[in-house]
Structure 1
């Protein structure tokens, strides 16, 4: 009797929600069942990337999942291009740990809604909304990987040139 069920490789995954000012981080458990918030990273891009690499190393991350903010139509605008560039810099800094881009349409909106439903006042959202969005991005990627046995999203090729 053969087992045709999808396989899931164990290990912590790190979710990354790239914002214009802040970056939210989330992590999974080693079994890939649950994403939880880690922290919000601030500073310039170099400082953010250094901190993300540090967190990935501390957790022994086997992969990083970066949200790709597509438009509702599926098209990619400026925010998606910025996320691709950020993911490429991150892939180079984290090599050989793979970095994958996953569709994150509406995660920030959903994160604000979840925070509002939890009773957190809107003015307090800024401090944690990026972490909540990172949790949502990572959880969707984990669920997809568990369903299919394949990592979610597209692998970032760290040999790609950054467009100016």
Structure 2
């Protein structure tokens, strides 16, 4: 396990006003979402078209630097029974290769059903197939990041 792969709770120790970047890692794209500085709201940011690892990682880290990101939350696509299949193994391999390139803490977040939930939302909004294809990855990243932000809020000690 890499040194910067950390449990979610460790993100509570990040400096105030530090943003998190959510990732939905697909085979063709990487959907990105950004938290606000209070780490309460996740907003879809953009989608990176995957080329090869080196270029993908460079684009990702450039975006993280541009937005002063203090940590990464990456969706881990588990099977419905909680086991890890080929997609989860591919995600772990991507992070294994990314870890030496950054000192940012990285957290895995269970992303089961995130793309399905986002697609249903877009269908309910009557979005066209082309529109859905253009936004589903970054919206799935926001869904993943929002889940982690909500959990962090529940873990945070109450302020007096």
TM-score, length basis structure 1? 0.82
Q: How far apart, in 2, do the equivalents of 1:17 and 1:46 lie?
A: 18
Which aligned pairs between 1:15-164 and structure 2 lie closer than 5 A?
15-42=22-49, 43-94=51-102, 96-149=103-156
Report the Cα offset of residue 8 of structure 1.
6.9
Q: Which runs of 5+ in 2 are unaligned?
A: 1-11
Q: Which runs of 5+ in 1 are unaligned?
A: 1-6, 151-164
Q: How far apart, in 2, do the equivalents of 1:75 and 1:33 lie?
A: 29
SS at match of 2:74: strand
- Which contiguous aligned blocks of 4+ residues in structure 1 show a shift greater than 6 angstroms? none
Deviations 1:36-74 (A, max 9, x none): 011000122221111110011011111000000001100
Report the Cα offset of residue 124 of structure 1.
2.4
Q: How far apart, in 2, do the equivalents of 1:119 and 1:70 lie?
A: 29
Q: How far apart, in 2, do the equivalents of 1:61 and 1:100 lie?
A: 13
CA RMSD, 1 decimal:
1.5
Contact 1:16 1:25 in 2 (8 A): yes
Q: How far apart, in 1, do the equivalents of 2:66 and 2:46 lie?
A: 13
More divergent stretch after superposition (116-125 vs 55-64): 116-125
Aligned residues: 143
